[in-house]
Structure formats: structure tokens, C-alpha cells
Amino acid sequence: MDPSELEELAWLAVRDAAGDNVLALNRQSTRGPAGREERHRFVCQMLRNGTIVDAKRMENGFGHVTYLVVLEDGKGRRMRAAFKPRVEGDGEGWHRVPIEVAAYQLNLLLGMDVVPPAVFREEADVDWTHYPAGGAFIYWCGGARQLDTVPMNDWSIPSAAVLSDTRILDVLIQNSDRHAGHFLYAEHWADGTYVPLPNPQHQHHQHAKGGGSSTASLSGWRGRMSPVLIDHAAGFRPDAFVCLDHENAFMTGPTRHVSARTYLRLRFLDAPTLQAAMGGILMPEEVTALLSRRDSVLAFFDGLVADKGYGSVVLEA
């Protein structure tokens, strides 16, 4: 066996070992960076099962209704969330709210953790209104403002990685509705710490007497300020077209870099992992199309690496 054949065998062994490890990671721990899994589980459990104790109705210029709700668990802990009811016809594909969950799950599989946690309830009663088609409950990030009001050097994540990850996610789900208003700088749901709060029973007593609001005993979680991506309900429209050569909302040019983490995880996504994570939200043909777009994204970056070199394309930070 000549040296080139030995080198090829060694590469195949490394590739297979890496594949096994990444697939295990995707199937066993899809909750972002190490140490955040428990927080993600808590937030998703609250979104899925929390009792709605307060709701404020909002409506955008397209007539789509969203509620800012306060959820409470059986231990008196509270958390804000957005509730997006599913509408008949999904707004001709522009308001398919289950895709909020698909975007969250896909961002976890890629290790991004920049899309707020989201779950879908099959039906819901909110503000004295019954929604038989259900809707998406999405974590409400505190202290939010548009990301373009924050200097790029002050983002908690390198701007090149944020913009690359965003465009890759949008290409995969074909989200053509990404504009500056869909980039936020807000408190992260899993990167932060708890701070002491007053006794919840005392706060409930004050509220009963009219001395406080229903948001008084919200969770004591205080997240680190971080870039956040919102509003993905326009994803997977059949007539959408998003590619890596498109300009981004910050006018820094087409995507020419990829984070090492995203580059690796893209390579080992597979249909069973995606189908398990999506919980039936995507049709089989949509999963197939997503993986086909993944192949194109990888081919694009593989070509850049071959042409410009790994260090010029792949972001290690």
C-alpha cells in the first residue's frame, strides 16, 4: 500500500470517528453549549406547560396578533413569553408560526443558541380567546433593542460569526424576511445567572391588594446581553430564495466566513436527527430539501477553503 493510500485510509478513519461523535452530540445534547442544557429544559417546560396568568394583545401592520404573556409554574416561578396564534392558511406562508420552533431546534443542532426557545401548543386559551389551531410560545428576551444600535465591537459574539450563522440559518430554512428589526441585542435565556427576588407569596399578596403587577414575581434569571434572532415564521415558503451571496442587513457584504463549530455540525446533520428534533413540524420533503441546501452550503465553503485556505475562511473563535 503506497503512502497516498495510507493517507486516504487515515482520513476516512478520522472522518468516521468524528461523524459518530457529532451525531451522538446532536442526538443526546441539542441544547447549545455545555452547561446550558438545564436552563433550556426549564424554559421549554415553562413554555409548554406554564399557566397563563397575564396577557397583553398586540397586532402588527399585517393584522397578525401576538400576545405578551406571563407564564407560571406550580412553584410560583414566572416567565414572560410571546404567544403567536396559528392563523388559517399560515398567512400564505408568511406567518407559519410552527417554523419558530423549527428555527429554534435547528439553531441548537448547529450549536448556535441565538434563537429564543420556542414550543408549539396544539391549542391554547389566551386572554379569554380560544385558539383551536394552537400557536407558538416563544421566550421573551428582556432588555431588548435592535442590534444595529450596538457597535459591532461591543457584541458578545464576534460580528462575523453572528452574520455568518444568521445567513446560514436563513439559507437552510429559506427565510427571506430577515431585516434589521429581526436582529436584537437582549438578555440571553441560557447564558446568565439567577438573582435573589422577594418572597413570591408576599408579591402575590401585594398584587391581590392592588399593590403590584402580575409580572412582579418573574423569574430571577438575568441573562447576559447577546445578539438574538427573532421572527422565523416566513421560513420554508416554496417561492422564497435566499443564498450566501446576498447582502446582509448590516451591509458588510456576502457571506465568506463560517464558524468552525457551524462548519463541523453542518457536515454531520442527518434526516433522523432533524426529524426527531422537529417533532413533525416539517414535512419529509422539507427535511430533504433542507439537507440538499446544507450540501450546497458545505460545497460553497469547501470551495472557499480550497481556494483561500482554511484560516482565511473558518472562524475558530
pLDDT per residue over 161-179, tens digit each? 999 999 999 999 999 999 9
Convert the pLDDT of each residue in 130-152 to its tens digit.
999 999 999 999 999 999 999 99
Q: Give the least confident one: 34-38, 95-99, 127-131, 297-301.
A: 34-38
Q: Tell me the C-alpha to C-alpha distance, in Å, between residue 115 and each of 212, 258, 272, 280, 315.
A: 31, 18, 22, 19, 20
Q: Which residues contact 41 (CB under 8 A, 6 or more apart)?
A: 31
Cβ atoms < 10 Å from Cβ of 294: 19
- Phi and psi based region of residue 128 (left: phi greater than 0; alpha: psi -120 to 50; beta: remaining): left
State pLDDT tens for residues 106-125: 999 999 999 999 999 999 99
Q: What type of residue sits at position 51?
A: T
- Kindly state the cell numbers that stand for 183: 436582529
Task: Determine how many CB atoms are found less than 10 A away from the CB of residue 82.
Answer: 22
Per-residue model confidence (pLDDT) at position 196: 76
Cβ atoms of residues 135 and 83 within 8 Å: yes
The pLDDT, as a whole number, for residue 210 is 37
- What are the residue boundaries of the structural domains of the chain, listed by start? 21-315
pLDDT digits (tens, 9 = 90+) for 6-64: 555 545 554 555 545 544 444 444 334 556 889 999 999 999 999 999 999 998 877 88
